[in-house]
Structure 1
Amino acid sequence: MAVRILIVDDDELSREVLALLADDAGYEVDTADSGDAALTCVRQLRPEVVLTDIQMPGIAGDELAQQLRSLCGAGTLLLAMSGSELGDGVGREFDGFLLKPFTMETLTAAIDGGLIRVEDRPAATDGVVLDEGVYTKLAGSMRDSQLEELYALCRKDAEARVERMRRAASIGDDAAYRKEAHALKGGCGMVGAVELQRLATSMEERGLRDDDVATLEEFVVASERLRRILVARKSN
């Protein structure tokens, strides 16, 4: 009987990619877009595994883990995930932590082993636009039209977040700027858009500086480079 897993992420792109890959790996998958939605799902579905982003608006992090545990009991595996390393003491209420992006093999190892911590360390990606391994796995899990829609969603999401980062930069809102960069990093990483992921990581770490606009323009150029690569793949 398939293991039932609830995937919780406020980022639509990350949530959709994870759900697709988990379903292809043989899991019975449900999704939620917030901590509150996750609590509702858990009351109704009783999943064996909850995989949740640890940085979301509203109830999240260890507070969410505590409430999930009170509903699920000790028999449910609670896994946290994030595009960034956790700070000291953060995530202590979870059974394990996965660093985005991670493979389904890593998730399976976490579920099978009841891990303390598992993470994938990506190889150096300087000069790489698209992770071939991630692209191949996604292409093998969906129709061509679905794959095209997925990457279109990635670029649309990136465009919206870049615009919000521009607005944040215009009013000097460093926290909002970093928040959008963090979401960009996670979403781009899940679809193998490694150049965009690398730039988003840099923007999150640096925050607002004198060259923030130039960095955003570099991201826009990189997004167009990804689009051209995907178009070329489609025509081959």
Structure 2
Amino acid sequence: MAGILIAQVGEAGCFGINAASFSVVILVLLRLRLPFPAALSRRGSLRSSVAAGADYLRRQPTLLRLIGILSLCGLVFAPYVIVPVFAREVLHVDATGLGLLMAAVGAGAVGGGLVAAGSRAARRLPLLIGASLVFGLSQIAFALSSTFGLSALLLAVGGAAFVMSQALTNTMVQLQTPDDLRGRVLGFYTLLTIGAGRFGGLLIGAGASAWGAPLALGLGAGLCLLGVAILAVGLRRNAE
């Protein structure tokens, strides 16, 4: 929506609308009345608590592979870093064109989230693997594209695939982790996946400066695709 509105209300107006939209979320949270379980007893130091979470995660190859796949995708998913460069240097469009490209990412993300939300438990793993592979392929294709319409479509596909992978990974990690360790495991999950996105933006930005945006993104997406395929084989073997 911001990508479409930026040409009409400007950047400041988009930030204002975004800030106002959080009031809806806050109102919903204030009205929630959930039957929270009794608080778990907390024993030991912070260091031992973190170590227990790390030790549990180390002994769970399935969880590690799930987090690894999303982290690899996060290294490449940097639309705020790379899309403006493609808009200016490859597609030769103005701010309106850039807004439409970013809107395509958002539209795909919404669609991918809805598909993930409606998936059945038995289909989550193959859907996650498929979405992650599609994400890598879409990023390679975007790096090779020089047509605005095709690039926007590929960004939508990539946005959908990444959010599907993210939502399904989050769901599977939470459901497969015991209550007393879930917070610690999710802490590592957040650190690795979100951290990968920030680090990936730095790497792709540096690569784009050195070799050009298409080569930097294509190389990163190719390595991401290879890593996802290797981890996916391990996941399928564990599932069998």
TM-score (norm 2): 0.28
The structure with the greater share of residues assigned to helix is 2
Task: Give the greater-gyration-radius structure (CA).
Answer: 2
The structure with the greater share of residues assigned to strand is 1
TM-score (norm 1): 0.28
Q: Which has the higher contact order (CA 8 A, sep 6+)?
A: 2
